[in-house]
């Protein structure tokens, strides 16, 4: 049975490096690309009108499709690629994708934050490593 490798994409150089690593390290695997749409709060603008959360979500979807297309081009036509568009908290959605899509391993980028930045911002990759039921490779 062919392996299924989940590669979360966020547009960062680290995510592109993780994709390259997954393609090189698992040449026979199906690569499952994932992008997580983050919930938005439309808020109230200076004019007192509600913001346009639907417009923001549409922009996020368009960006996700661009990321998927770029990743598929990097992978080439001879690789099995699947695309998963998720919505919610990135770490939660990535871990949830494992069971939902029969994933054998996660390969993801790390933003390399440390110290106060990591404490304040948290770390998606760190949370995924702690919660994942399958092995996780973090690429810098």
52-74 tens-digit pLDDT: 566 778 888 999 999 999 999 99
Angle, alpha carbons 8-72-38 (nearest 5°): 35
75-89 tens-digit pLDDT:
999 999 999 999 999
Instruction: Give the mean model confidence (pLDDT) for residues 37-42.
Output: 68
Q: What is the pTM assigned to this prediction?
A: 0.85
Structural domain spans, the chain: 4-41+50-134
Distance separating the N- and C-terminal Cα atoms of the chain: 29
Distance CA 70, CA 89 (A): 23
Architecture of the domain delimited by 4-41+50-134: 3-Layer(aba) Sandwich (3.40)
d(CA 49, CA 31): 43
């Amino acid at each position: 049975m062919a392996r299924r490798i989940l590669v979360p994409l966020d547009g960062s150089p680290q995510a592109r490096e993780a994709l390259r690593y997954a393609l090189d390290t698992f040449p026979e695997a199906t690569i499952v690309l994932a992008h997580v749409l983050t919930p938005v709060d439309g808020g109230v603008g200076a004019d007192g009108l509600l913001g346009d959360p639907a417009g923001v979500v549409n922009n996020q979807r368009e960006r996700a499709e661009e990321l998927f297309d770029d990743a598929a081009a990097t992978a080439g036509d001879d690789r099995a690629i699947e695309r998963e568009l998720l919505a919610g908290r990135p770490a939660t959605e990535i871990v949830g994708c494992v069971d939902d899509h029969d994933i054998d391993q996660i390969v993801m980028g790390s933003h390399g934050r440390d110290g106060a930045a990591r404490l304040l911002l948290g770390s998606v990759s760190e949370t995924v490593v702690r919660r994942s039921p399958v092995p996780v490779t973090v690429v810098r």
